[in-house]
Amino acid sequence: MIASSIQINQHLAERLANDGWYVGESIFDAELSARLHDRAYELAGGGALQPARVGRNMATQTQAEIRRDDTLWLADQPEDAAERAATLAVTSLRLALNEALFAGLRSAELHFARYAPGTFYRRHRDRFRDDDGRVITVVFYLNNDWSPDAGGELVLYTDDGDSVLTRVLPSAGTMVCFLSERFPHEVLPATRERLSLTGWLRRDERDT
Ligand code: OGA
Ligand code: MN
């Protein structure tokens, strides 16, 4: 059975409250995931995605050893219809979490990410020392027909980093959500291009 996004939001809030993380059905339907895939693919082809930065004030050299994906931030009010639909769905999720968990989430930031074959993001946490605004990480995978042999899993670790909580294939229709401060995680290299829309629900208004 396909759940409505309202049902998914509720289930997701429960999982976040109980475990601090959720992996499961996406709040984006198949059509929206496909439109976002095509949008990311087109933007990447036009060179709009650029090497991602880790934190702020870090040497480019060091960053390339940690992460090798290319990203593009979405505008707050995107012109593209698929980006707008995604932004709206994320806003609904944010408000649902505020209602269910008194989460106090005031804004969201979203970027497309493209991992070329062989690229990775080493184990890290998502809250930067110089930016504590990120509360919840959300990742929406946009890849059709992802076979387990292709790699590219997200590996989510326990708080102490000692054991693996779960491994997630980056397949369209799957989303991941977790407390940004709590769980170390990494992206393993893949044999094919890996596209996602990734974002953070924040406790503050963004300063853009
Ligand atoms: C990130 C990240 C995970 C993923 O962008 O910070 O960890 O599965 N992404 O793409
Ligand atoms: Mn991360």
Q: What is the pLDDT of residues 97-118, one digit of tens each?
A: 999 999 999 999 999 999 999 9
Mean pLDDT of the chain: 93
Give 35 Cα–ligand 2 centroid separation in angstroms.
24
Residue 149 structure tokens: 């042999």
From the CA of 125, the nearest ligand is: 2
- Please tell me the predicted confidence (pLDDT) of residue 130: 65
Average pLDDT over residues 42-52: 94
Q: In this predicted model, what pLDDT tens digit does every residue of 146-182 receive, in sequence order?
A: 999 999 999 999 999 999 999 999 999 999 999 999 9
Average pLDDT over residues 60-89: 91
Q: Would you say the C-alpha torsion 23, 28, 31, 32 has a positive or negative sign? A: negative
83 in contact with ligand 1, CB cutoff 6 A: no
Give 139 Cα–ligand 2 centroid separation in angstroms.
9
For residue 207, name the pLDDT band (cuts at 50, 70, 90): low
198 in contact with ligand 1, CB cutoff 6 A: yes
Whether residue 128 is predicted with pLDDT greater than 80 in this model: the reply is no
For residue 201, name the pLDDT band (cuts at 50, 70, 90): very high
Whether residue 53 is predicted with pLDDT greater than 80 in this model: the reply is no
Angstrom distance (rounded) from CA 36 to CA 136:
21
126 in contact with ligand 1, CB cutoff 6 A: yes
Q: Quick one: 202 exposed, middle or buried, by C-beta within 10 A (0-12, 13-18, 19+)?
A: buried
Q: Quick one: 94 exposed, middle or buried, by C-beta within 10 A (0-12, 13-18, 19+)?
A: buried
Angstrom distance (rounded) from CA 29 to CA 36:
11
One-character DSSP codes across 87-128: HHHHHHHHHHHHHHH-----EEEEEEEEE-TT--EEEE-SSB
Angstrom distance (rounded) from CA 86 to CA 197:
9
For residue 58, name the pLDDT band (cuts at 50, 70, 90): low
- Please tell me the predicted confidence (pLDDT) of residue 1: 66
Angstrom distance (rounded) from CA 148 to CA 33:
20
pLDDT over 90 percentage in the chain: 86
Torsion of Cα atoms, 168 then 39 then 204 then 173, to 10°? -30
- Please tell me the predicted confidence (pLDDT) of residue 131: 74
- Please tell me the predicted confidence (pLDDT) of residue 63: 77
pLDDT over 70 percentage in the chain: 93
Q: Which residue has the higher pLDDT, 97 or 58?
A: 97
Whether residue 61 is predicted with pLDDT greater than 70 in this model: the reply is no
Alpha-carbon distance values, 100 to 11, 27, 36, 95, 205 (Å)? 10, 17, 28, 9, 20
67 in contact with ligand 1, CB cutoff 6 A: no
Nearest CA to ligand 1 atom 5: 198
Give 43 Cα–ligand 2 centroid separation in angstroms.
22
28 in contact with ligand 1, CB cutoff 6 A: no
CB atoms near residue 180 (< 10 Å):
20
